[in-house]
Structure 1
Amino acid sequence: MRKFMLAALAGSVVLAGCTTNPYTGERQVAKAAYGAAIGAALGCGIAAATTEKGKRDDRCLQGAAIGGVAGGGVGVYMDVQEKKLRDRLAGVGVGVQRDPATGAINLIMPGNITFPTAQASIRADFYPVLDAVADVLKEYKNTTISVSGHTDNVGADAYNMKLSQDRANSVASYLVNRGVASGRVSAAGYGKSSPIASNSSEAGRSQNRRVEVRINPPAQ
């Protein structure tokens, strides 16, 4: 009986953790669901080992439920944060990506909607977007934020490096001014060194002119 209940609980956790990948449209199981299922198994095992025989089934189920939540841990924390960011940033031109290796959330802010041409002062019509980002960051206080500036390959390297650093500083400072703790935020400029598209076309160069806000999972 205990095994049956545990299997059902673990199965429901995994099914609940199934999401649709926004880039491929395929159904997939979130990492948090795997952690929750493992936590459920461990919780049941501990409860069963420390409870008299006649009460093991109930204690197993309780232990599995507690372990499932704990097992979800950082994955659940980041999953919910990602969902809120996607909801708040829908339709504003900012890309939201999840790093499958680290679980970090990356916000890609194209230069043409974030800054005037060749400037590092944030466009006033972009303030509401950064306000929305700051609201979510303040709610999830256990993450750190790495802001990086990037340019295309047009112009002198020194100019591009300075512009990318100034733009990263502008976004980082804005988030701090909106209430995100300064100790959580760092900023760095990378000039033309980290393109995400080919610089051989204007379309590619436009993609490379960007600021990225990387939201790093809390240490486990």
Structure 2
Amino acid sequence: MFVRSRIAAGAALVVLVATTAACTTDPETGQQRISKTAIGGIGGALGGYLLGDLVGGRHDRTEKIVGAGLGGIAGAAIGAYMDKQERELRQRTAGTDVQVVRQGDDLLLNIPSGVNFAHNSATVEPRFQQTLDKVAGVLSDAQNNRTYIDVYGHTDSTGSAAYNQTLSERRAAAVALYLESRGVQAARVATRGFGMTQPIASNETEEGRAQNRRVEIKIVPIAQSDIG
């Protein structure tokens, strides 16, 4: 599933500044988290995705979940369920440059360009396969499969907007297919390409462009109330 984005790059930089300023440190893991209050203040489509809006809409995604025979998590148990998954993802991806960010009850994995794709390519490189194997090992576990998974593709500003949009979509799709080939249920997964519209660094330097060429994996708990 490919959904095109037309969100201004400037808005993405606002999100970066706002969420960075509002990070808190988890006393147990020592890792940074972004508070839901801060995310809610961002507003617009970007704020909605940070708060857990799903690619394709929650209703359609939930229908696929039900069709696949997957269950949801009772409301009171969601926090502990995602705590466990966060710990496992941090342990499995330690030393890989993958950033695991907690956003309320959601998780966001930021996978930088150094460990994912070659320049202008949507082929999953062998080094990236090793990283995705670690991620898939957690997500495909029967004890961790009550989550929606959104895969986001991003590029730098080199080249045309149309080219980068298509490239980001192809990269997101390649990651999704790889995760599915490693046992992650397809019903849980959707993709979205953002092209060059959501930079997290300046595109004026090579270092900044490298940061902007990235893949993100958003993990959102399936609540029992979603299933009905």
The TM-score range, normalised by the shorter chain, is 0.5 to 0.7
Two-structure CA RMSD over aligned residues (Å): 1.8
2:28 is aligned with 1:19: yes
TM-fit CA distance, 1:183: 0.5
Is the helix fraction higher in 1 or 2?
A: 1
Distance 1:160 1:71, change over 3 A: closer
Q: Secondary structure at the match of 2:140?
A: helix
Seq. identity, %: 45
2:93 counterpart of 1:89: yes
Q: Could you tell me which residue of structure 1 aligns to residue 215 of structure 2?
A: 211
How far apart are residue 196 of structure 1 and its match?
A: 1.3
Q: CA separation in 2, counterparts of 1:185 and 1:123?
A: 21
Q: Deviations over 1:140-171 (max 9, x none)?
A: 11101000000111110111001100000000
**DSSP 3-state at the match of 1:19:** coil
Give the drift of 1:20.
4.0
Q: Find runs of 4+ consecutive structure 1 residues off by over 6 angstroms.
A: none
TM-score (norm 2): 0.65
Higher RCO (CA < 8 A, seq sep 6+): 2
Deviations 1:32-77 (A, max 9, x none): xxxxxxxxxxxxxxxxxxxxxxxxxxxxxxxxxxxxxx88510000
SS at match of 1:108: strand
Candidates 183, 189, 197, aligned match of 1:185: 189
What runs of 5+ residues in structure 1 fail to find an aligned partner? 1-16, 25-69
Provide Cα deviations, 1:81-111, integer angstroms capped at 9, x if missing partner.
00000000000111111113xx211111112
| Equivalent position of 1:197 in the other structure | 201
Unpaired stretches in structure 2, ≥5 consecutive residues? 1-25, 34-73
Pairwise CA distance, 1:201: 2.0
Do the aligned partners of 2:139 and 2:145 also contact (CA within 8 Å) in 1? Answer: yes
Q: Please give the TM-score of this superposition, normalised by the length of structure 1.
A: 0.67
Q: In the alignment, is residue 110 of structure 1 matched against residue 112 of structure 2?
A: yes
